[in-house]
């Protein structure tokens, strides 16, 4: 969500989201939905926990119908997500918006000293926004290790073995979902439904 520190002024209107932000959020929602549902289809082929007799996800929550179908959808969505994320990263870098999107010393101080609810909301939002970066990197690199283990054997070695790699990759999914929920709630607290709607149209 595109919220900068200047938006904490009481007299300032809600930040207006530009086209890049709208495209980024829309493609993120689509690609995440495709990756999660197709990933659950892949999981069903060989559950991470309990072997082939482990917990299976009902078909209504999966995409791809079978292992190969799930993999095709998953990798296609992975490229969409990765290209979208990289493009947005370059966008905030070139426009220097990164200076207002991620946690800074003022945010830490605000948590310790201020009672201003809106100021605290923006500070928590930037903290959460920053915290998702290592989680996304973890999901990306473990996914790469599973996708191309022969080309990236060192990624498998970092996590001990193939099973360790799968567990970490699987664990990154609920963390990303939790981020999305918190991101949405903080945005709603900061600007209500109008701010949430401005993220997409």
Task: Please indicate, yes or no, whether residues 112 and 193 belong to a single structural domain of this protein.
Answer: yes
Q: Are residues 71 and 153 in the same domain?
A: no
Which of 43, 76, 100 is the C-terminal boundary of a domain?
100
pLDDT tier, 26 (very low <50, low <70, confident <90, very high otherwise): very high
Is the domain of 108 the same as that of 193?
yes
Residues 93 and 106 in one domain: no
* pLDDT tens digit sequence for 16-25: 567 888 899 8
Taking residues 164-185, what's their average pLDDT? 90
Asked which of 41, 65, 100 is the last residue of a domain, the reply is 100
Does one domain contain both 152 and 184?
yes
State the Cα–Cα distance between residues 157 and 162, nearest whole angstrom. 8
CA distances to 29, 112, 148 from 152, in Å: 28, 43, 6
Whole-number pLDDT of residue 16: 55
Q: What is the mean pLDDT of the chain?
A: 83
Domain containing 69 equals 17-100
Q: Are residues 96 and 114 in the same domain?
A: no
Number of H helices, E strands in the chain: 7, 0
């Amino acid at each position: 969500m595109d919220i900068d520190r200047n938006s904490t002024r009481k007299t300032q209107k809600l930040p207006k989201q530009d086209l890049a932000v709208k495209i980024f959020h829309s493609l993120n929602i689509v690609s995440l939905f495709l990756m999660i549902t197709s990933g659950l289809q892949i999981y069903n082929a060989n559950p991470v926990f309990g072997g082939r007799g482990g917990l299976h996800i009902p078909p209504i929550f999966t995409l791809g119908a079978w292992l190969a179908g799930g993999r095709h959808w998953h990798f296609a969505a992975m490229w969409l997500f990765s290209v979208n994320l990289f493009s947005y990263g370059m966008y905030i870098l070139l426009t220097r918006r990164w200076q207002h999107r991620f946690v800074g010393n003022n945010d830490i101080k605000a948590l310790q000293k201020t009672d201003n609810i809106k100021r605290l909301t923006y500070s928590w939002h930037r903290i959460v926004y920053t915290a998702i970066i290592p989680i996304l990197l973890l999901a990306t690199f473990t996914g790469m290790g599973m996708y191309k283990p022969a080309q990236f054997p060192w990624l498998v070695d970092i996590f001990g073995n193939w099973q360790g790699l799968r567990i970490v990759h699987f664990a990154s999914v609920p963390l990303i979902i939790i981020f999305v929920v918190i991101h949405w709630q903080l945005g709603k607290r900061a600007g209500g439904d109008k701010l949430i709607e401005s993220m997409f149209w």
